[in-house]
Amino acid sequence: MNTLLRSTALIALLAGPAFAQDTTGDEPTDTAPAQEETAPESAPDTAPETTSEETPETAPSDESTPSESSDAETGTDSDTATDTAPAEQDGTNGSGEETAQDDSEPEAPAEEANSQARISSDARVPASGPDWPSFHGQVSGAKYSPLDQITPENVGEMELAWRYETGDVSDGSGDLPATVWSATPIYANGLLYIGTPFYRVLALDPATGEEVWSFDSQSTLEALTQPALKNRGVAYWEADEPVEGEACQKIVYLGTMDARLFAVDADTGEQCENFADGGVLDVNQWNTVNDRWPLSLLQPPTIVGDHVVIGWAGNDWDWAEAPPGSIFSVNAQTGELEWTFDTIPEEIREKTGTANVWTAMSADEERGIVYLPVASPSPNYWGGNRTEDIPYATSTTALDVETGEVIWSRQWVHHDIWDYDINAAPTLMDITVDGEEIPALMQATKMGFLFVVNRETGEDVWPIEERPVPAGDIEGERYAETQPFPTKPAPLLDQSKLPDVWWLADVASFGACSKLWDDMVYEGMYTAPTTEGAGAGAYPNSAGVVQWGGVGFDPDKQLAVVNLSHVVQHIQLYERERYEEINGEAGPGESGFHPQTGAPYGMSLQTALNRWGMPCWEPPFGELAAIDMTTGEIAWRRPFGMSQRYGFYMPEGWGSPTIGGPAITRGGLIFIGATMDAMVRAYDLETGEELWSDITEAPSVSNPAVYEHDGAQYVAFVSGGNSILKPSVGDMVSVYRLPQQ
């Protein structure tokens, strides 16, 4: 027994800190690990019906480690909207069926009838090219390259072509906040463009990594809305018919935490004087309601034709009243505001907020539709200030890109009190189901659901059912009676029950994990936040099963690919007086506590770890999976990555929590970083077999880019790190190719 305890203590020492990291802000929390190795056969028919009602008298137990707020999910918006943007919808669920409760998918207002009645199109997702001109490769969100030089047969020969270190990095130990860098490189105009967390743009030679030009926005390096300096890269636009000799016919856009959007000439790096105010758009000019923080531009805008569609991030964990989540479209060359879409009904904007878009969007350019993954309203874990309908919150909403008018909207969580933000761009795909060709859209979620609908109409491809969920015990709260459950594909994990206690962690903590399981209230994934016991078990939780890297799609094989995490947390509400007593002198977001100022309850979000920092639930902690989109069935899934600390690796069969996402090629490969071991890997698309790997400076918490330059295929990874995974940051770009002949 002594030997066993020594062994478990060693494992805890190595693995624990990696699972104990805290995050707050705009990117979803991704602390966690583990559950079952296989997906459940189906979603539970009904969730348990009750929760208990006792208020705790003591602070959370030592057996849990706090986790700070989501790293990309908080945000908010401006209040001003143009007349063209509808403020609300009422009604049906997008498939024409009435929902069982009133915070459901909205019915289109009469003025939107023309948009709703659009004639269906035979247009398919445009074929991908050899460039990688947007965050997800294509504005469709497919993360797919048609390049096939590198194959399962030769990928093992792939070698480093070049590396580049930006110098824009901080571990937070000095005067600057830590950096969180999850940028995807953009390949366009014969150059590789990268945005940094110091809010610079680098233009590099794609074959050598030599700097061609750089641009410094000279923005303030302060953590205004996030706990760290963050950047997910840049966006690129070019004119359909560039005018020779004129500047800014090709533009690179960079957003900053202080809510400014810079436009620079893609050839020279000089600011575009005709864009907004001398090349800078002040997005904060539209921040007029509950303007507690700037509308941080951490995610690059989405470019659709000549439209620059802008979402933003904020800090809604700590406030009930927050900026309302508006989305803005501006002209690509002039920066002139074209339309604003408001997600929060005007009559309640003063008392709530957010429901913003802080992650990437996607678009069907042929149909003129932009798809918004919309976050939850504020505050995240209490909704007594917003008992009215907010139909666009926690939804996928399709807008006419020319006008900002709603075409359809599907709400995936009714009255969201779990911070289940829609955190990834929907993936557009043309699929064949039962012999019928369908223009589809897949929306991955934090809940581990993959909702598949017709992207023209929002109607179900496979049935999506409203099922009863439990109510809670908080006075003044509203509880949705039902929630949407997809029937296919099956949920990525079984949310009907908590995963089993990991015996190793339980033994190492002398049964503390088992005790925590007994003290948590858990009646399925929609267990309401409570003051009782150790709080409501959260599985999944706001960290999310799927992160902003989203789902990749191979249009030839009709295979979807997704990386996922398993994590157990628990949410505890505290009456205001009790919260102030327990939280003591800790500031907002410290130690997993969040005041939810303006609400009668503060809260804490804690990861279910033992006192050594070991996850209390069974591995694996992360997986990679492929779904056959002709049937909706899992094609394969496997543990993914290795948990790692101080150079020691945990068994690969345990997997790793993941942040970031895949890139897929016609060559039959999946390229991905995303794991805490700082490895970048290649997998066989058809089998899931790992074929190649390399170690980099820090976890690559972004999507790779795949491009062709001068006849050679390259794969580019950014290794910026994220304290969600482990206290390791980096500033490295690593680019690979086959050996040159």
- Compute CA distances 717 → 137, 383, 432, 661, 730, whole Å: 13, 40, 33, 11, 12
CA dist., res. 163 & res. 278, Å (int): 34
Residue 713: CA count within 13 A, CB half-sphere = 19
Q: How many CA atoms lie within 13 Å of 628's alpha carbon, on the beta-carbon side?
A: 10
Residue 516 DSSP symbol: H
Beta strand residue intervals within 72-189, DSSP E: 144-145, 159-165, 179-181, 186-188
Main-chain dihedrals φ then ψ at residue 550, nearest 5 degrees: 70, -165
CB 170 within 8 A of CB 229: yes
Distance of alpha carbon 712 from the chain centroid: 31
End-to-end Cα, the chain, rounded Å: 58
Task: Of 605, 630, 621, give the one whose Cα is nearest residue 554.
Answer: 630
* Strands of 168-259, DSSP E: 179-181, 186-188, 191-195, 200-204, 211-216, 229-231, 235-238, 250-255
Q: Which of 379, 366, 261 has its CA nearest to residue 311? A: 261
Distance CA 55, CA 613 (A): 27
Instruction: Characterize 14-42 residue by residue with b for buried, 16 or more Cβ atoms within 10 angstroms of its Cβ, and e for exposed.
Output: bbbebbbbbbbbbbbbbbbbbbbeebbee
Nearest-5° Cα angle at 691, 689 to 695: 120
Closest C-alpha to 33, from 711, 684, 618? 618
Q: What is the DSSP string of 660-727?
A: S-EEEETTTEEEE--BTT-EEEEEETTT--EEEEEE-SS---S--EEEEETTEEEEEEEEEE-TTT-S
Nearest to 100 by CA among 464, 372, 462: 464
The SS3 call for residue 453 is strand
**Is the link from the previous residue into 540 a cis peptide, with omega within 30 of 0?**
yes
HSE-up (13 A, CA, CB side) for residue 570? 29
Using only C-alpha atoms, the chain has a radius of gyration, in whole angstroms, of 24
CA 499 – CA 542 distance, rounded (Å): 17
**Token pair of 359 as six digits:** 């992650």
Which residue, among 644, 666, 668, has the nearest Cα to 657 in the 3D structure?
644
Catalytic residue among 265, 389, 419, 494: 419
CA–CA dist 460, 45 (Å, integer): 18
Tokens of 349: 């904007």
Residue-wise over 194-227: b if at least 16 C-beta within 10 A, else e?
A: bbbbbbbbbbbebbebeebbebebebebebbbbb
Cβ(224)–Cβ(199) below 8 Å: no
419 catalytically annotated: yes
Nearest to 554 by CA among 637, 674, 430, 371: 430
Tell me which DSSP letter residue 577 carries: H
Strand partners, 559: 554, 628
**Do 128 and 137 meet the contact criterion of CB atoms below 8 Å apart?**
yes
**Per-residue exposure over 77-116, b if at least 16 CB sit within 10 Å of its own CB, e if not:** bbbbbbeebbebbebbbbbeeebebbbbbbbbbeebeebb
Q: Are 204 and 732 in contact (CB under 8 A)?
A: no
Catalytic residues: 419
